[in-house]
């Protein structure tokens, strides 16, 4: 490894990437693994877990998968405890898990709105809360929140998603101010439209042949 690569090495670091069965989360986990990190990720179903583990294996990555609903605090606490036992204290957390429901605001049910906020905002709070004590004890930590460009912009049909991601942006800033003294850095990234299953409907042709 050359001197430049060594500066960016994650050798020996433990990274938890939520929702990393595919898409942006999988790509982040793959890059971390290439930099030397030990990878942990979660799925909510065994079906997705089996496929994800096969995909990681095909890339030559020995990732550890955990069945966990990140909106459930008890499940998250158990997952973090298992990761600490099997891989070590978490050095890096990427709050990537998220959903979007493209429904006009006046047609969206309160239940759908709450589900989006629960997964896209409450879950990053829950997972961050679970890993921060270990980071404090270790003396350092990195938290990356996938805030989306919708944390800055509004768009038709995504009221819940934009509201949740805007909240996540402010949670990011608050983690910085509250835990910076413990050498914990928190950053938000704002991806635009990436070719993932979540954005597949936007790439489909409309009945008249036009784009979305």
Strand partners, 16: 40, 93
Annotated catalytic residue within 22, 66, 161, 193 = 161
| DSSP one-letter code for 44 | S
Length of the chain: 212
Terminal alpha carbon distance of the chain: 45
φ and ψ of 114, to 5 deg: -65, -35
Question: Does the annotation count 161 as an active-site position?
Answer: yes
Nearest to 48 by CA among 24, 61, 67: 67
3-state secondary structure of 110: helix
Catalytic amino acids? 161
């Amino acid at each position: 490894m050359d001197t430049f690569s060594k500066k960016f090495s994650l050798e020996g670091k433990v990274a938890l990437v939520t929702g990393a069965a595919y898409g942006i989360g999988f790509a982040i986990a793959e890059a971390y693994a290439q930099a030397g990190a030990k990878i942990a990720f979660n799925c909510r179903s065994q079906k997705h877990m089996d496929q994800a583990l096969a995909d990681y294996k095909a890339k030559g990555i020995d990732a550890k998968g955990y069945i966990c609903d990140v909106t459930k605090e008890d499940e998250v606490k158990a997952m973090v405890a298992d990761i600490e036992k099997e891989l070590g204290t978490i050095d890096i957390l990427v709050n990537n898990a998220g959903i979007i429901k493209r429904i006009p605001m006046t047609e969206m049910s309160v239940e759908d709105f709450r589900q989006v906020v629960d997964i896209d905002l409450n879950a990053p709070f829950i997972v961050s809360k679970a890993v921060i004590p270990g980071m404090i004890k270790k003396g350092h930590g990195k938290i990356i929140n996938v805030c989306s460009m919708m944390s800055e912009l509004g768009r038709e049909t995504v009221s819940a998603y934009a509201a949740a991601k805007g909240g996540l942006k402010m949670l990011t800033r608050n983690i910085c101010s509250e835990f910076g003294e413990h050498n914990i850095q928190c950053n938000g990234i704002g991806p635009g439209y990436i070719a993932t299953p979540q954005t597949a409907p936007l790439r489909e042709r409309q009945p008249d042949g036009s784009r979305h």
